């Protein structure tokens, strides 16, 4: 067998190990190590990579952000922030039809801004909101479906551990990825609220009502949310204002949530030790998956599978949008079978070269030149520019033609095709990363194997899983509509980056 054939044959072997319930990190590690030994016809290269890959993986400064964000989520739970968020949202929305469920979605979005994990958000908010939903007469399936869907907001609204891993894999800027995920995250929360509104109108008996809360009590509950706003504003705002790097921001956030938890009485010597232990276990699991993926992806790179796949797709002349749709459909299906981090680590090194080789036309040279020229002209016509040159520049802007070197020199700008290509490559990478994150998260609530569904249903044994399946399809429909919108209008995702240019 050739190296390429060995690389292709490794996929069914890997899938078999995963379906046999071998941990995915170990599966990728074993297949990668075995594949290296087979391709190189010996153990020297494989064992040499074992030493180098382990060191380079665990000595990566960027990965230190992972335990910091995980610890921040644990401290936030101990500090009662999840309860404060839910009570504040419930005070303003709870008296409406389906309002308690909407409040749960709002609280999940707020908690996701300081947690970064879907499963942790679902489990935490399930403990807080499920009793309230039951108390006010919400149907079991509707309640569990709402909280399972709300949990997916934990990984999309920044900060996000999975986005950090994606940024490392594709060598993208973490802060820019966080910024680009913000609007899609808000759209997700809004879409879920609309889904709840539609559901309670179609099935009025599925949601009870609760008495309105006096306005004074609403604002009192809102006051208790200030720690969340403070931590989120300090971490995210500090990163974008350049006060500190994303890793330093995560450390500041962990310290801030820990201090708040301590002042609220939730953090003591015992709970601090438990938080460190849980964070260490979660970090070890994530790091081992990263190590296994590194081995497997190194083996694939040696067999040239990603490069050959990219060349094949480009040579077939498929539409970039068709290729993107097929990749997203793949993630949607397989996201039901494995967690988001594993899916991204396993597939991004294969799919990302394919996407990078396609032209989506997100930017054009004349458009960028026109934008730069208009910025200059807004400040006034440059000194020494003749009327004829000004007229030719205005004509080029109006007709969408490229500016000549002489025109750009007169304007004092430099917008070349190489610069446009670099910016577009970054835009495509960030846009694709947000889309992948969304569709993988949809898999967490897609029957029959959505992981969030099982986590929430385990908290409510009296609710049948089939009832949760029926209700959650409204949220899945909302997610699919959102994905279609974000694919059709990339500017929604990329707008914050464009404003920063």
User: pLDDT tens digit string along 127-146?
Assistant: 888 888 888 888 888 988 89
DSSP line for 383-444: TT--HHHHHHHHHHHHHTPPPPHHHHHHHT----HHHHHHHHHHHHHHHHHHHHHHHHHHHT
Q: How far apart are CA 447 and CA 435, in angstroms?
A: 20
DSSP line for 232-263: HHHHHHHHHTTSS-HHHHHHHHHHHHHHHHHH
pLDDT given for residue 432 in this prediction: 93
First to last CA, the chain: 49
Would the pLDDT of 98 be above 80?
A: yes
Q: Minimum mean pLDDT among 48-52, 305-309, 448-452: which range? A: 448-452
Q: Minimum mean pLDDT among 43-52, 131-140, 201-210: which range? A: 43-52
pLDDT > 70 in the chain, percent: 98
Would the pLDDT of 407 be above 70?
A: yes
Please confirm whether the linkage preceding 159 is cis (ω < 30° from 0).
yes
Would the pLDDT of 501 be above 70?
A: no
Would the pLDDT of 424 be above 80?
A: yes
How large is the average pLDDT for residues 237-255?
83
Tens of pLDDT, residue by residue over 287-331, are: 888 888 888 888 888 888 877 777 777 677 778 898 898 888 888
pLDDT-based confidence at 158, cuts 50/70/90? confident
pLDDT given for residue 367 in this prediction: 79
Q: What is the DSSP letter of 137?
A: T
> Is the model's pTM score more than 0.85?
no
Q: How far apart are CA 187 and CA 198, in angstroms?
A: 16
User: 384 or 180: which carries more pLDDT confidence?
Assistant: 180
Please confirm whether the linkage preceding 448 is cis (ω < 30° from 0).
yes
How large is the average pLDDT for residues 190-199?
93
How large is the average pLDDT for residues 199-224?
81
Would the pLDDT of 177 be above 80?
A: yes
pLDDT given for residue 194 in this prediction: 94
Q: How many residues does the chain have?
A: 501
Reduced to 3 states (helix: H, G, I; strand: E, B; else coil), residue 20 is coil
pLDDT-based confidence at 107, cuts 50/70/90? confident
Q: Minimum mean pLDDT among 31-45, 73-87, 348-362: which range? A: 73-87
pLDDT-based confidence at 487, cuts 50/70/90? very high
pLDDT-based confidence at 156, cuts 50/70/90? confident
pLDDT-based confidence at 191, cuts 50/70/90? very high
Count CA atoms closer than 13 A to 490's CA, side-chain side: 17
Q: How far apart are CA 500 and CA 496, in angstroms?
A: 6
Tens of pLDDT, residue by residue over 426-437, are: 889 999 999 998
pLDDT given for residue 304 in this prediction: 82
Dihedral (CA of 417, 418, 423, 428) sign: positive
Q: How far apart are CA 240 and CA 397, in angstroms?
A: 32
Dihedral (CA of 185, 188, 190, 193) sign: negative
pLDDT given for residue 337 in this prediction: 67
Mean pLDDT of the chain: 83
User: 346 or 475: which carries more pLDDT confidence?
Assistant: 475
pLDDT given for residue 198 in this prediction: 93
């Amino acid at each position: 067998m050739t190296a390429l054939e060995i690389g292709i044959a490794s996929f069914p072997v890997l899938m078999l190990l995963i379906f046999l319930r071998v941990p995915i990190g170990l599966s990728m590690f074993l297949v990668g190590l075995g594949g290296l030994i087979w391709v190189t016809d010996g153990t020297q290269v494989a064992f040499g990579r074992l030493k180098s890959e382990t060191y380079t993986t665990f000595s990566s400064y960027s990965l230190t952000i992972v335990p910091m964000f995980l610890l921040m989520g644990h401290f936030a739970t101990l500090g009662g922030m999840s309860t404060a968020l839910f009570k504040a949202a419930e005070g303003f929305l709870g008296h409406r039809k389906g309002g308690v469920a909407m409040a749960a979605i709002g609280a999940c979005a707020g908690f996701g801004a300081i947690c970064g994990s879907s499963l942790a958000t679902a489990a935490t908010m399930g403990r807080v909101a499920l009793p309230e939903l039951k108390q006010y007469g919400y149907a079991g399936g509707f309640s569990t479906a709402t909280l399972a869907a709300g949990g997916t907001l934990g990984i999309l609204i920044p900060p996000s551990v999975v986005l950090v891993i994606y940024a490392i894999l594709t060598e993208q800027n973490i802060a820019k990825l966080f910024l680009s995920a913000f609007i899609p995250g808000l759209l997700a929360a809004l879409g879920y609220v609309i889904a709840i509104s539609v559901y309670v109108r179609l099935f009025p008996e599925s949601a009870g009502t609760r008495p309105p809360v006096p306005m004074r009590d609403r604002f009192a509950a809102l006051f208790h949310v200030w720690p969340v706003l403070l931590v989120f504003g300090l971490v995210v705002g500090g990163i974008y204002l350049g006060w500190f790097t994303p890793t330093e921001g995560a450390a500041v956030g962990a310290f801030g949530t820990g201090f708040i938890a301590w002042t609220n009485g939730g953090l003591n010597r015992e709970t601090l030790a438990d938080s460190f232990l849980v964070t260490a276990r979660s970090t070890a699991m994530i790091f081992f998956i990263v190590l296994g993926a590194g081995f497997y992806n190194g083996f694939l790179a040696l067999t040239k599978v990603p490069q050959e796949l990219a060349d094949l797709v480009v040579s077939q002349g498929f539409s970039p949008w068709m290729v993107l749709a097929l990749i997203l459909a793949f993630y949607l299906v397989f996201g039901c079978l494995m967690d988001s981090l594993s899916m991204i680590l396993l597939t991004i090194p294969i799919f990302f070269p394919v996407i990078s080789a396609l032209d989506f036309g997100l930017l054009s040279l004349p458009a960028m030149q026109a934008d730069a020229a208009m910025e200059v002209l807004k400040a006034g016509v440059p000194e020494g520019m003749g009327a004829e040159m000004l007229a030719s520049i205005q004509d080029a802007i109006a007709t969408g033609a490229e500016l000549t070197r002489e025109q750009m020199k007169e304007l004092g700008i430099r917008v070349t095709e190489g610069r446009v290509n670099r910016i577009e490559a970054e835009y495509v990478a960030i846009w694709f990363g947000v889309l992948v994150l969304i569709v993988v998260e949809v898999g967490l609530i897609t029957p029959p194997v959505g992981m969030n569904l099982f986590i929430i249903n385990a908290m409510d044994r009296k609710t049948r899983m089939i009832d949760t399946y029926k209700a959650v399809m409204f949220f899945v429909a909302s997610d699919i509509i959102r994905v279609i919108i974000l694919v059709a209008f990339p500017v929604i995702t990329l707008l914050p980056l464009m404003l920063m240019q």
